[in-house]
Amino acid sequence: MPPRIFGLENEYGLIFSPNGRVYLPMEKILGYIFEGLIPNSWPSNAFLCNGARFYQDTGCHPEYSTPECDHLRDLVIHDKAGERLLEACLPMAEKRLREEGLIGEIYIFKNNTDSMGNTYGCHENYLMRRDLDFWKITEQLIPFFVTRQIFAGAGKVLKVSGRTHFFLSQRAQHIHEKTSSSTTSSRSIINTRDEPHADAEKYRRLHIIVGDSNMSELATYLKVGTTAVVLSMIEEGFTVKGMELEDPVKAIRDISRDPTLKKRVRLEDGREWTALEIQMTYWERAQAYLAALGSSADETTRDLIEYWGDVLQKLATNPMELAQELDWVIKKNVMDSFIARKNCGWDDPRVALMDLQYHDVKRNRGLYYLLERQDVVERLATEEEIQRAMTVPPQSTRAKVRGDFIKFAKEKNRSYTVDWTYLKLNGYWEETILCMDPFSSSNKRVDELIAGVAVSHR
């Protein structure tokens, strides 16, 4: 694949369970969470030493945006680092509660829906070329995104028309449009917001809001990696024709409701295909793209396309073979076992509780992490890599410049202002330093600034 910048934004669910009748506004609970990462005097919107952004999003959700990554494995690691940073905030937040005479537990969930039917997102970002026709590319991507949930879905137990069903995706039932500039009022498969956070003449940002938050590292790897491959091959002229869906919004919901993967959706030309058949078409085109790359294809691209094909084959024959790799399969496998053991139904409240507990980021409490400790889910990253990513940015992108700058400013106890594309050390050399190249891991002006401040403090 050509060089590309990736990023993930995860909004987290937040619950306070008091041991008593006293209830605190969620804004106050969130404030305690922020104190674990950001001093009290700072706003609830800040960049961290690892280059990531941590802030409060609409609906009082803590949101973690990974730093810019140009390697897929780095993205998986930094996505997990966001979970660890939020988990690390819990002891301090609960201590602050006790100081106010309140006792209770705070729960943070990496999921996409709450018990009231509200949804919050996992947004994906892919830097793409500006000179290509955005709309032609998105039209070819929509069938891919509609069907990608068969391996990228997080699974959801949901009651519809009085009956409880297991769905592939948490997000699919909340999608209303093919494309839209909004992320809330008219959620779409592809968001058209044009904020590249880079040189706008060269780049555009593909902003995807249709996907689920994943606990499985392999599901994240596959979700982002296959999207990057498909985007690259379309950019290079390996188009995918004839897959246009008659009604993509209906299709994404219908596919989500069928964990047997047998549901057929109607294409514009009248044919009816399963999600697996559509995904296989994209995979076969990716195989042709890989062959055209020849020896220039990097190892990650080769590994990813091979793994994608293997996953599709297993989904076609026996999805439960993936019960250590894909979130919806892991979750359904555990629930099927519980239902059989307890002789209960899908409407048992304990099953709904398992659905939620799967996404708890506190590792000694969350169901996913219980399975991880039992070595029944596969991993991609090591814990050492994740712990390092909590404080150290990727070393090959703009995030390194930002992270090093923030670390330096904190060490010198200097006030600063930071965004994705600029840095400024307040009160000294008031020049705003632009960082418009997300691929650049160094910046001469930042180096001069840091050197100048260091000399002045001798």
Question: Which residues are part of the catalytic machinery?
Answer: 57
Contacts of 458 (CB under 8 A, 6+ apart): none
Structure tokens at 6: 């990736």
Tokens of 113: 């829906």
Contacts of 365 (CB under 8 A, 6+ apart): 357
Q: State the greatest distance between any 2 C-alpha atoms of the chain, in Å, as a whole number.
A: 75
HEC string of the chain?
Answer: CCCCCEEEEEECEEEEEECCCCCCCHHHHHHHHHHCCCCCCCCCEEECCCCCEEEEECCCEEEEECCCECCHHHHHHHHHHHHHHHHHHHHHHHHHHHHCCCCEEEEEECCCECCCCCECCEEEEEEEECCCCHHHHHHHHHHHHHHCHHHHCCCEEEEECCEEEEECCCCHHHCCEEEECCCCCCCEEEECCCCCCCCCCCEEEEEECCCCCCCCHHHHHHHHHHHHHHHHHHHCCCCCCCCCECCHHHHHHHHHCCCCCCCEEEECCCCEEEHHHHHHHHHHHHHHHHHHHHHHCCHHHHHHHHHHHHHHHHHHHCHHHHCCCCHHHHHHHHHHHHHHHHCCCCCCHHHHHHHHHCCECCCCCCHHHHHHHCCCCCCCCCHHHHHHHCCCCCCCCHHHHHHHHHHHHHHCCCCEEECCCEEEECCCCCCCEECCCCCCCCCHHHHHHHHHHHHHCC
